[in-house]
Amino acid sequence: MGKLLFWIIVAFIVLLAVRLVGSAQARKRRDRDAAQRVTGPMVRCTKCGVFLPKADAVPVADGYRCREPACLPPS
Ligand SMILES: [Zn+2]
């Protein structure tokens, strides 16, 4: 009887450990995905050379420009 109880406790601890490791990995993966979604790929302004997220950049013929008035192409 004592031996059975021992194995039940061992199985419980193993299951708990597997669960903890799995949720930690899932959280890490989710954090990394969220960080990538927020920043996205970076591009360089062809005029002033500043790096900015591609989503905030203005595409021009020779690359990307930042949104500084001096860098924006004349419209
Ligand atoms: Zn610029």
For the chain, which residues make up each domain, given as ranges?
1-39, 41-75
Q: Is the pTM of this model over 0.75?
A: no
Ligand 1 centroid to 59 CA: how many Å?
12
Mean pLDDT for all residues in the chain:
90
Q: Concatenate the DSSP letters of all residues of the chain into one string.
A: -HHHHHHHHHHHHHHHHHHHHHHHHHHHHHHHHHHHHHH--EEEBTTT--EEEGGGSEEETTEEE-S-TTTSPP-
Report CA(32)–ligand 1 centroid distance (Å): 28
Q: Is residue 38 predicted with pLDDT exceeding 70?
A: no
Interval between CA 75 and ligand 1 midpoint (Å)? 16
Mean pLDDT within 15-21: 93
- The 10s digit of each residue's pLDDT in 1-14 is 789 999 999 999 99
| Class of the domain covering 41-75 | alpha beta
